[in-house]
Amino acid sequence: MLKTFSIGGIHPAENKLSAQNPIATLDLPAQAIVMLAQHIGAPAEPVVQKGDIVKTGQLIAKASGFVSANIHAPVSGTIEKIDDVADASGYKRKAIFIKTDGDEWLETIDRTPDLKKEISLSPAEIIQRIADAGIVGMGGATFPTHIKLAPPPGKKCDILIINGVECEPYLTADHRVMLEKGDEIMVGIAILMKALSVNKAIIGIENNKPDAIAHLNKMAQAYQGISIMPLKVQYPQGGEKQLIDACIGRQVPSGKLPIEVGAVVQNIGTALAIYEAVQKNKPLIERVITVTGKSVSTPGNYLARIGTPMLSLIEASGGLPVDTGKIIGGGPMMGKALTSIDIPVTKGSSGLLIMPDREATRQPMQNCIRCAKCVSACPMGLEPYLLMVLSQKGIWDRAEEEKVMDCIECGSCSFTCPSQRPLLDHIRLGKNKVGQIMRSRTK
């Protein structure tokens, strides 16, 4: 029997409309808007000024602080300005505006398509290279990768798990990368294994991608210690904790990181970026994005430079449908609804989902009928109906006891509730509040 995680879970309609469409390279944007905060942690610090000429791949902002990431020029051209721009949530954030003028790359970057297999760098050098290249978790969490690769003292990693699950409905970017960049991914994984000094890696892939499973299985023959694990389709299998549980049956304890059970999880896209950074010296300046939706005329997967306006992605897929009611950055379960399409691609953009009007709004909420379906669905074994009430009433200490902080914000509860209750909306607020309280306590 196929494995999956052990508690809760749901089965949203998969809608992988663009699974068969190969990755197309998008044209360079006329102007690249590079946000300074596109990762978790402190925004990067600009190292260029207005009027500077930059080459593609050149460092334009450096990491500031421990949790932060470098940012590189995605195009070559002139720095127009460093100014505020509304981000996906409508708040103004700093960004570097580059006026594109061709695509002249830094000479140090190897742009040949040849596969480079030998890993000459030492683990410490690998991690440094990854940090230099500004690589962050590409599944959407955007946590700086080099930090994840350096386990805290006293903790030892014994297995690397690669997330090829792509459990979000609609999204197919990782799927395509697995099919088209199999070799690069394998080398990327080998690099990661060396950096972590583990001799075992598992690629978890849901069973709805048999072609990717077969393809990578074939590739894996040539690499020591890498195996593919097909998993039963169930959301949220791509959650770090769920994936570890599904693949190796270890459960990360409440409030702890995966390293506690000896595992490190990396995304497929990240593995590819690591290959390019370490073997080709290429920083993270582009990524694969799925543009999809039932009303989109040609859903597709695109390789786009960071800083490309979302609008050009939509245009490449046949333009914005007239009945568009909602645009989501990411997948429908955990993605963020956008307030406008005048925002740029960032390192964490995994998809752009366009929903027609009729699907865009929620149904009216009703009383909780205590059906316990949210409890059955929650992959963390929480009681969402209760957490919602506690958070509405502001009973933060009870919410903490009921482990509100364990919520992974997967949305399974809101998805399931027959009364259409906005459970996660309230639980997320509860998490924020309880998190603040806990931090102020340790201070």
Partner 1 sequence: MSVVMITIATLVVLGATAAVILYAAAQKFKVYEDPRIDQVEAVLPAANCGGCGFPGCRAFAEALVKADDISTLLCPVGGAAVMAQAAGILGKEAAATAPMVAVVRCNGNCDVRPKTNNYDGASSCAIAASLYGGDTGCSFGCLGLGDCVDACQFDAMYMDEKTGLPVIIEDKCVACGACVKACPKIIIQLRKKGPKSRRIFVSCVNKDKGGVARKACEVACIGCGKCEKVCPHGAITITNNLAYIDDEKCKLCRKCVEVCPTNAIHEINFPPRKEKTTEEKTEEAPAN
Partner 2 sequence: MNKLTVSPSPHVHSGDSVKKNMYGVIIALMPALLASLWFFGVGALVVTLTSVAACLLFEFLIQKYLLNRAPSILDGSAIITGLLLAFNLPSNLPIALIIIGAAVSIGIGKMAFGGLGNNPFNPALVGRVFLLISFPVQMTSWPLPIASRMSYVDALTGATPLAVLKEGVKSGQSMAELTEKIPSSINLFLGNMGGSLGEVAAIALIIGLAYMLIRRIITWHIPVSVIATVLIFTGILHLVDPQQYVSPLFHLLTGGLLLGAIFMATDYVTSPMSHPGMIVFGVGIGVITVLIRVFGAYPEGVSFAILIMNAFTPLINKYIKPKAFGEVAKPVKA
Annotated binding site for [4Fe-4S] cluster: 368, 371, 374, 378, 407, 410, 413, 417
Question: Residues 384-413 vs ligand SF4: string with x where CB under 6 A?
Answer: xx---------------------xxxxxxx
Closer Cβ to partner 2, 124 or 371, answer by number: 371
Decide if residue 419 touches partner 1 (CB under 8 A): no
Closer Cβ to ligand SF4, 230 or 384, answer by number: 384
CB neighbour burial string for 345-354, b if at least 16 within 10 angstroms, e if fewer: bbbbbbbbbb
Going by the annotation, the residues of the binding site are: 368, 371, 374, 378, 407, 410, 413, 417
CB of 404 to ligand SF4, least distance (A): 8
CB of 405 to partner 1, least distance (A): 16
Closer Cβ to partner 2, 226 or 333, answer by number: 333
Beta pairing, strands 159-163 & 201-206:
parallel
Q: Which amino acid is at 151?
A: P
Q: Which amino acid is at 413?
A: C
User: Residue from 284, 424, 431, 434 that binds partner 2 (CB under 8 A)?
Assistant: 424
Decide if residue 378 touches ligand SF4 (CB under 6 A): yes
Residue 20 contact, options ligand SF4, partner 2, partner 1, none, Cβ 5-8 Å cut-off depending on partner type: none
Closer Cβ to partner 2, 74 or 330, answer by number: 330
Decide if residue 419 touches ligand SF4 (CB under 6 A): yes
CB of 417 to partner 1, least distance (A): 12
Decide if residue 334 touches ligand SF4 (CB under 6 A): no
Residue 287 contact, options partner 2, ligand SF4, partner 1, none, Cβ 5-8 Å cut-off depending on partner type: none
User: Residue from 146, 305, 373, 426 that binds ligand SF4 (CB under 6 A)?
Assistant: 373
Within positions 341 to 360, which residues make up the interface with partner 1, using CB under 8 A?
A: 360
CB of 425 to partner 1, least distance (A): 4
Closer Cβ to partner 2, 119 or 353, answer by number: 353
How far apart CA 351 and CA 292 sit, in angstroms, is 8
The crossing angle, in degrees rounded to 10, of helices 268-280 and 173-180 is 50
Question: Residues 61-100 vs partner 1: string with x where CB under 8 A?
Answer: -----------------------x-x-xxxxx--------
How far apart CA 244 and CA 160 sit, in angstroms, is 10
Within positions 372 to 391, which residues make up the interface with partner 2, using CB under 8 A?
A: 372-373, 375-376, 378-383, 385-386
User: Residue from 53, 141, 389, 429 that binds partner 1 (CB under 8 A)?
Assistant: 429
CB of 411 to partner 1, least distance (A): 12
**Residue 4 in contact with residue 237, Cβ under 8 Å?**
yes
**Residue 269 in contact with residue 135, Cβ under 8 Å?**
no
Candidates 28-36, 64-72, 164-172, 378-386 — which segment interacts with ligand SF4 by CB under 6 A?
Answer: 378-386
User: Residue from 81, 111, 117, 370 that binds partner 2 (CB under 8 A)?
Assistant: 370
User: Residue from 339, 403, 408, 409 that binds partner 1 (CB under 8 A)?
Assistant: 339
**HEC string for the chain:** CCECCCCCCECCCCCCCCCCCCEEECCCCCEEEEECCCCCCCCCEECCCCCCEECECCEEEECCCCCCCCEECCCCEEEEEEEEEECCCCCEEEEEEEEECCCCECCCCCCCCCCCCCCCCCHHHHHHHHHHCCCECCCCCCCEHHHHCCCCCCCCCCEEEEECCCCCCCCCHHHHHHHHCHHHHHHHHHHHHHHHCCCCEEEEEECCCHHHHHHHHHHHCCCCCEEEEEECCCECCCCHHHHHHHHHCCCCCCCCCHHHHCEEEEEHHHHHHHHHHHHHCCCCCEEEEEEECCCCCCCEEEEEECCCEHHHHHHHCCCCCCCEEEEEECCCCCCEECCCCCCECCCCCCEEEEEEHHHHCCCCCCCCCCCCHHHHHCCCCCCHHHHHHHHHHCCHHHHHHCCHHHCCCCCHHHHHCCCCCCHHHHHHHHHHHHHHHHHHHHC
Cα 298 versus chain centre, distance: 23
Residue 427 contact, options partner 2, partner 1, ligand SF4, none, Cβ 5-8 Å cut-off depending on partner type: ligand SF4
CB of 316 to ligand SF4, least distance (A): 33
User: Residue from 16, 129, 146, 241 that binds partner 2 (CB under 8 A)?
Assistant: 241
Decide if residue 417 touches ligand SF4 (CB under 6 A): yes
Decide if residue 336 touches partner 2 (CB under 8 A): yes
Q: Which of 185, 195, 244, 265 is nearest to 218 (CA)?
A: 185
Binding residues for ligand SF4 (CB under 6 A): 368-374, 377-380, 382, 384-385, 407-413, 416-419, 421, 423-424, 427
Binding residues for partner 1 (CB under 8 A): 84, 86, 88-92, 337, 339-340, 360-362, 422, 425-426, 428-429, 432
